[in-house]
A and B are shown apart, each in its own frame.
Chain A
Amino acid sequence: MLIFYLNLIVQETEKIKFEQLYLKYRGLMHHVAKKILYDEYLAEDAVHEAFIRVAKNINKISEISCPQTKNYLVIIVRNISLDMIKKGENEMTINQDAWNNYESCENIEEKILEKLEVEKIIIQINNLPATYKDALYMNVVDNMSIKEIAQLLGKKEETIKKQIQRAKIMIIKALKQEVAI
């Protein structure tokens, strides 16, 4: 019986955490969704869907008030909102040459790398489609696996893998061009 109660408390802790997340971030999340969807009620649907995914991954969040948590929630709701407007449309196409040149793009020369300023990379990151940027962020900053990102964002693993690869290609290609100039 004691184990039952202990289990209850652990669950209760997660429930309290979830409620605190909900109360703290629902406004910001709605704002993010509304900027994409231009509709208050559709934005509510996006926020609701986002919290369903958060509930399933509640153990991935341990601090309520920290930048990582905020980023995490914004990324989830933004992806859901974008999926809602892109439903039925094809994914953004990418220049096939760039895709074919993936290997060469990966091999960025050391001398170019040395010259690279973080600020220049930021500019290229900001030029990425939001979905690419989000997948890349979760992979590189949050150290999430392709599988975990796919599960959280409700996408196929192959899609996430390509988004991350393409994001890197786009950044590197743009940087190479810039440095060459």
Chain B
Amino acid sequence: MDTKLWEEKLKQALIISQQREIDLLEESELKGKDAYKFSKEFENKMQTLIDSLNNKENNKNNENSNKIVNLKPRKLSIKKKALIVVAAIVLIMSMVLTVEGNKETLIKIIMEIGRVMDRITFQQEEGILDTIREEYAPTYIPKEYILLEENKGKMIFQNENRDEIIFWQISPRGSSVSVDNEDVIKKEVKISSIQGTMVESLDKDRSIIYWNNGRYLFMITVYFRDEEELIKIAESVRIKEK
């Protein structure tokens, strides 16, 4: 048997068969009345997954699997990478904090401005504030919302329409947060006397506010458009009483 000829014909047939199937799928997807609206739970899970992409486990997996299925990967030259670094990284704040035992720790909060996402990263020189020591929580939440879920550093409130208010307190070490910067309006706001950033989606009712107090990064996501109300929630964030 001419194995090569057989494999070639089989490959050709598989490609055509798969392409026809995909065409049919896309056709039937387009026939649907509206694009499917994913649930907020799904969106949150996906956001968490996206945020976790930089962890060591994934990097390890990536190193282990080196076969390219598709086209050639884009490769950035060292020079180009360095240029991107210079262009993309903006140091927005660095401060010296006095912590336990009068030991000084330098915490840098770095904002990277990407094409579709802003990423905020904490860095510190000495590993001291590696976990959340004081838990913060908003003391004001619009009355129609109830606490649905609470994990260390994260609280989800929900109203009857299943709209959520999500509060995050993020510890410094190795943390990073991603925030959409595509199709959004971004502006600087004051939360009490602290400078913060508010990001409002242009195409959907979603606003995010984030700020830091030098020890922690805070972020609140709401699914409504009311700047004053969002700032009010942010300003109410206090250390939780034990």
Contacts and interface: CB of A to CB of B under 8 A. Distances in A.
B39 interface: yes
Contacts of A150: none
B51 to A, nearest CB: 9
B36 A27 contact: yes
Contacts of B5: 113
Contact of A140 (B14, B39, B53): B14
Contact of A44 (B35, B38, B114): B38
A125 B17 contact: yes
A127 B36 CA distance: 30
B13 interface: yes
Contact of A32 (B13, B25, B61): B25
A71 interface: yes
A144 B46 contact: no
A141 B116 contact: no
Given A14-B53, A110-B2, A71 B35 contact: no
B58 A171 contact: no
Contacts of A180: none
Contact of B9 (A5, A68, A110, A116): A116
Nearest to A5: B85
Contacts, number: 186
Q: Which secondary structure dominates chain B's binding surface?
A: helix
Interface string B5-32: 1110111111111111110011011001
Contact of A8 (B14, B16, B65, B112): B112
Nearest to B176: A8
A113 B2 contact: yes
Nearest to A117: B9
Interface in B107-140: 112, 114-117, 119, 121
B99 interface: no
Contacts of A159: none
Contacts of A151: 65
Contacts of B9: 113, 116, 118, 121
Nearest to B41: A44
Interface of A: 2, 5-6, 8-16, 18-20, 22, 26-28, 30-32, 34-35, 40-41, 44, 47-48, 51-52, 55-63, 66-72, 74, 106-110, 113, 116, 118-119, 121-122, 125-126, 133, 136-138, 140-145, 148, 151, 168, 171
The 6 closest A-B pairs by CB, nearest first: A121-B13, A31-B29, A62-B73, A44-B42, A68-B70, A125-B17
